[in-house]
Amino acid sequence: MARKSIVAGVALAAAAGLALTACAGNAAGDAETTATDTINAELWYAPATFDPAKASADADTTVARLGFDTLLRQGETEGYIGGLATEWQTVSASEYVFTLRDDATCADGTAITPTVVTDSFEYLVGLEDSGAQTWKNQAFGSGTPAFAADDAAGTVTITLDTPYSQLLGGMTRPGTGVICPAGIADPEGLAAGTVEGAWSGPYTLTGNSAGVGVEYSLREDYDAWPAWESVEGEPAATINLTVQSDSNTSANLLESGGVDLARFYDSNALRFEGMDGYSVVPFASSAYNLVFNQAAGSGSIFEGDQELREAVAQAIDTEGFNQAGLDGLGVKQYTVNAASYSCALEDESLLQPYDPEAAADALAGQSIRLLIMSNWDPAADYLAESLRAAGAEVTVSAPDPADWTTQMRTQPETWDIAVAAENAGPNLINLSIARYLGASYADGGTSVTRADNPEGVAFYEAAVAADDAETQCENFLAAQETILERVDMMPLITDTHRYVARDGFATYVFSGYWDISAMRITA
């Protein structure tokens, strides 16, 4: 999503504040790189927490992948590969068994046993935090999971009181990263990143300059990398991640050698395509949707009014949003997430046609509160002006990512429509469907629309209870149809991000998921 410009000096000062240690390359186009053991990369926002169970914004989940290992990881082309687990068995949609590797340890040397894993899962499901609630539902479904550790056999058994066919995919998500005993014993220190023994993953946090950036150091004793076949090069001894929200500055820093890898959402990435000394890796990053708040008693004008929801959808040209927010680089979207997803609905006839004149008949004089994340100014302006052109009065709220997430999930009284960014990497369509139907966060679910859609819920529950993929897909498709027919949300666009690396560095996308822990030094 487009972010407002910030002068280059801010970014350079931030980099200096972190005391980046990598040897820089030469000027633009000449990407010769001297020997280094450090990778300098960027985050768009500063992490709000280092507790993976409470991670909610993109920066939180990105750094969680560095510090905490999960049982499974997404495969390089499809399916799953082992993380902390070497074998896994789906006994049924209600029972799963994982065999752990016997050589994994925490950063303080504690062996990662089945008991360590189950204690971490118990911590996750016991939290009332909305981020943890999201991960719990993604990992274990809507019911209550039970965990059994057999340290002698090296196995973890997960039993569900409500069938959930998507659990294996849930075990790849960074929010299920295993927290070691030292971290669970000190939740405040875990969130602050100060518990040295909390980490189960390849890196530990060794520097944190609030709002500026973070430094991660590779564990000398770490030897639990997934069995990637395509990954080449050496892991960095040090990863410096500076906060940089301006894409123009990122491109300039990358070209001058100020950073080694950078992620782009806009046309700045195109200057590196075909340029000697750089590699460009595209991947579907986020599916942007407009959410209609239908919470009872929230004051939202969209509660129980499908005609108004249809009018908003008619007032917005998705291609105009694409141009404003993504320099026209996004791709058409027909449902709750990217068309590349398994079981994604692809039926344009279910979408409202762009018809601003018809929209004006319903929207004239209506007051609408639009919630969108900070630094998304061009996209926010486009949406607001589209609705104003149809006669609505629009107030825009653009808090930082943490507050944006909190308001959308738990404060429906503060907004009427919101822009939601669905992660397009996991290829788990159920996660996105559950954002638009079923129980809200207040009631133990993950719905942000709070829509009353029992038909859709029935299809969704049939899908997650089914053992066979065909039945799952059939019901997931039907659930999406109900959401679109009711106009509980409006698909906007799926953005294609591009990760650009200078010569001597590499990054990888696995089954559509960009994995920061697979960044490598190749020089």
Tens-digit pLDDT string for the chain (523 aa): 444 432 233 333 333 334 333 333 333 334 444 689 999 999 999 999 999 999 988 899 999 999 999 999 999 988 899 999 999 999 999 999 999 999 999 999 999 999 999 999 999 999 999 889 999 999 999 899 999 999 999 999 999 999 999 999 999 999 999 999 999 999 999 999 999 999 999 999 999 999 999 999 999 999 999 999 999 999 999 999 999 989 999 999 999 999 999 999 889 999 999 999 999 998 888 899 999 999 999 999 999 999 999 999 999 999 999 999 888 989 999 999 998 888 999 999 999 999 999 999 999 999 999 999 988 889 999 999 999 999 999 999 999 988 999 999 999 999 999 999 888 877 789 999 999 999 999 998 999 999 999 999 999 999 999 989 999 999 999 999 999 999 999 999 998 889 999 999 999 999 888 999 999 999 8
Per the CB < 8 A criterion, the answer to whether 182 and 195 are in contact is yes
State how far the Cα of 25 lies from the Cα of 265, in Å rounded to an integer: 24
pLDDT number for residue 159: 98
- The DSSP code sequence of 379-407 is HHHHHHHHHHHTT-EEEEE---HHHHHHH
Q: 3.30.230.80, 3.40.50.1010, 3.10.105.10, 3.40.50.720: which CATH number matches 285-496?
A: 3.10.105.10
The partner residues of 74 in beta bridges, in order of sequence, read 80
All residues at 6 or more sequence positions from 408 whose CB lies less than 8 Å from its CB, including other chains: 291, 371, 415, 418, 420, 448
Pairing of strands 238-243, 95-100: unpaired
Task: List the structure tokens of 257.
Answer: 């050698």
State how far the Cα of 128 lies from the Cα of 135, in Å rounded to an integer: 11
Half-sphere exposure of 337 (CA within 13 A, CB side): 26
Helices (H), 271-400: 306-315, 318-326, 356-363, 377-389
Please give the class, per CATH, of domain 8-68+189-283+497-521. Answer: alpha beta
All residues at 6 or more sequence positions from 517 whose CB lies less than 8 Å from its CB, including other chains: 65, 66, 201, 202, 203
Indicate the domain borders of the chain: 8-68+189-283+497-521, 72-181, 285-496
- What is the dihedral sign for C-alpha 51, 129, 420, 511? positive
Task: List the structure tokens of 160.
Answer: 């569900």
Half-sphere exposure of 205 (CA within 13 A, CB side): 28
What stretches of 244-346 adopt beta strand conformation (E)?
261-264, 278-292
pTM: 0.81
Measured CA distances, 315 to 276, 306, 388, 418 (Å): 44, 14, 9, 15
**Closest by alpha carbon to 354, among 339, 372, 332, 369?**
332
Mapped onto helix, strand or coil, the DSSP state of residue 467 is coil
pLDDT number for residue 17: 39
State how far the Cα of 285 lies from the Cα of 512, in Å rounded to an integer: 8
- The DSSP code sequence of 62-81 is HHHHHH---SEEE-SSSSEE
Is 258 buried (19+), middle (13-18) or exposed (0-12) by CB count in 10 A?
buried
State how far the Cα of 259 lies from the Cα of 410, in Å rounded to an integer: 37
- The DSSP code sequence of 13-67 is HHHHHHT--SPP--STT-------SEEEEEESS--S-S-GGG--SHHHHHHHHHH
Please give the class, per CATH, of domain 72-181. Answer: alpha beta
pLDDT number for residue 13: 35
